[in-house]
Amino acid sequence: MIELLQRIFGRQTSKSSKNVAQERLRLVLMHDRLDLSPQLLEDLRTDLLNVIKEYMVIDEGSMDIDLDHDKECVALVANIPVVRMKRLPSN
Amino acid sequence: MGEGYVVTSGKGGVGKTTTTANIGTALAMLGYRVVLVDADIGLRNLDVVLGLENRIVYDLVDVAEGRCRLRQALIRDRRLEGLYLLPAAQTKDKTAISPDQMKELCAEIKKECDFVFMDCPAGIEQGFRNATAGAEKAIVVTTPEVAAVRDADRIIGLLEASDIRSPLLVINRIRPRMVRMGDMLDVNDVIEHLAIELLGIVPDDELIITSTNRGEPAVLNSNSKAGQAYRNIARRVAGEDVPYMDLENGEGFIERIRRMLGLRTG
């Protein structure tokens, strides 16, 4: 009701569709500008795996690498179950 | 030597063709020699918006393939001296011409006029590459909607990766009343996201539809607000410093009545 009154008097409410559009646009542009295609993410995953495998044995089947979109930022989140550490040859 | 502009948007239906027709016509009204090129091969419609569809004999592909000379394919507008259309082929597709051929063709056109505008097809594929090949400047058209701004952002990225620097923005179909109610992105919101120079703002205007029905660009109608906006844009393209249209203080009651009665308003 208050929202309706505010709209009648031309006041913007925080839920005005413009603000929703603004926020959605911000997120979609942030995502687009990262320019991370599924192929690129797959390449990153393979490269990461190869590096990690030099140090530890991991469970490749249940690992998960993805970009996590928070309201404010984007994070690269990797969840990689470690089976055991590799015994590195001691110098 | 003329300047080459590509009018592009990424998303379809935001007003590229209307923008091309109106800026071109308005520049011709100012006395410049203007060639409008419909680069949307296979889906031509700039001819219809300009009202020149019945006069097409040759098209862009005919010129590129040497079936006719450029002069034979250019259609001169009967209303305005100095306004020409190079129509697209309707029965071919985008691969009928290459970016290199387009570049060559544009160089030839630029020798004959002050401004060339390429009406770019929607999308980012070969049609886009063809339309941008002959241009050194770009006008990006968007509307205040999430999808259109998103696609404009993508296009700006692609333009900046090509030889075209500093594209200019036209925000089309603004509804001042909805902006006031907080139900439409405003000009500043859009500029903030896209971060390119603003060339002009165009209000949503029913006269665009009626003028398109008639094949007479809205700039020829002194009652059209969008027409006024496009005339301002044309003057900016020509290098004049023109203030942006004040959309907030739209016409008052009296002006509306006058307009309904067909009287000219200030």
pLDDT at B265: 43
Q: Which amino acid is at B245?
A: M
Q: What are the structural domain ranges in chain A?
A: 2-85
Which DSSP state fits A36? -
Phi/psi of residue B145, each to 5°? -130, 150
Q: Tell me if A32 and B180 make a contact (CB, 8 A cut-off).
A: no
Interface ipTM above 0.85:
no
- Cβ of A25 within 8 Å of Cβ of B150? The answer is yes
Q: pLDDT means per 10 residues in chain B (266 residues)? A: 95 97 98 97 95 96 94 96 96 89 96 96 93 96 97 94 90 96 95 96 96 96 96 97 81 59 54
Inter-chain touch A25–B184, beta carbons under 8 Å: no
Query: Which candidate in B124, B142, B175, B185 is best for mutational testing of the A interface (most A CBs within 10 A)?
Result: B185
Task: Note the helical H segments in A1-91.
Answer: 2-8, 17-34, 38-53
Which whole number is the average pLDDT over A51-64? 88
Read off φ and ψ for residue B64, nearest 5 degrees: -60, -35
Contacts of A19 in chain B (CB under 8 A): 182
Torsion of Cα atoms, B262 then B264 then B265 then B266, to 10°: 180
Q: What is the pLDDT of residue A72?
A: 65
Do A18 and B180 lie within an 8 Å CB cutoff? no
Residues contacting A24, CB < 8 A, separation 6+: B146
Residue type, B168: L
Distances (CA, A) of B39 to B1, B43, B103: 21, 9, 12
What is the pairing mode between strands A56-58 and A82-85?
A: antiparallel
* Cross-chain CB nearest to B154 (options A10, A18, A32): A32
For residue B80, is it left (φ>0), alpha (ψ between -120 and 50) or beta? Answer: beta
Largest CA distance in chain B: 57
Tell me the residues of A at the B interface, defined by beta carbons under 8 Å apart: 7, 10-13, 16-19, 21-22, 24-26, 28-29, 32-33
Residues of B in contact with A25 (CB under 8 A): 146, 149-150, 185, 189, 193
Does the pTM surpass 0.95? The reply is no
| Residue B153 contacts A where some CB pair is shorter than 8 Å | yes
- Residue A89 DSSP label: P
DSSP A64: E
Q: Which of B146, B150, B182 is opposite residue A12, by nearest beta carbon?
A: B182
Q: At what angle do helices B99-110 and B126-133 cross, to 10 degrees?
A: 30
Check B181 against A33: CB less than 8 A apart: no
Question: Could you say which of A16, A18, A32 has the minimum Cβ distance to residue B153?
Answer: A32
Cβ partners under 8 Å of residue B219, min gap 6 = B22, B25, B26, B29, B227, B230, B231, B234
Radius of gyration of chain B measured on its C-alpha atoms:
18
SS3 sequence of chain B: CCEEEEEECCCCCCCHHHHHHHHHHHHHHCCCCEEEEECCCCCCCHHHHHCCHHHCCCCHHHHHCCCCCHHHHCEECCCCCCEEEECCCCCCCHHHCCHHHHHHHHHHHHCCCCEEEEECCCCCCHHHHHHHHCCCEEEEEECCCHHHHHHHHHHHHHHHHCCCCCCEEEEEEECHHHHHCCCCCCHHHHHHHHCCEEEEEEECCHHHHHHHHHCCCHHHCCCCHHHHHHHHHHHHHCCCCCCCCCCCCCCCHHHHHHHHCCCCCC
Q: How many CB atoms lie within 10 A of CB A10?
A: 10
Residues of chain B in contact with residue A8, where contact means CB-CB under 8 angstroms, are none
Res B109: pLDDT: 97
Q: How confident is the model at residue A87 (pLDDT cuts 50, 70, 90)?
A: confident
Going by C-alpha positions, the residue among B155, B139, B201, B157 that lies closest to residue B3 is B139
Q: Which tens digits make up the pLDDT trace of A8-57?
A: 555 555 678 999 999 999 888 887 887 667 777 888 888 988 999 889 99
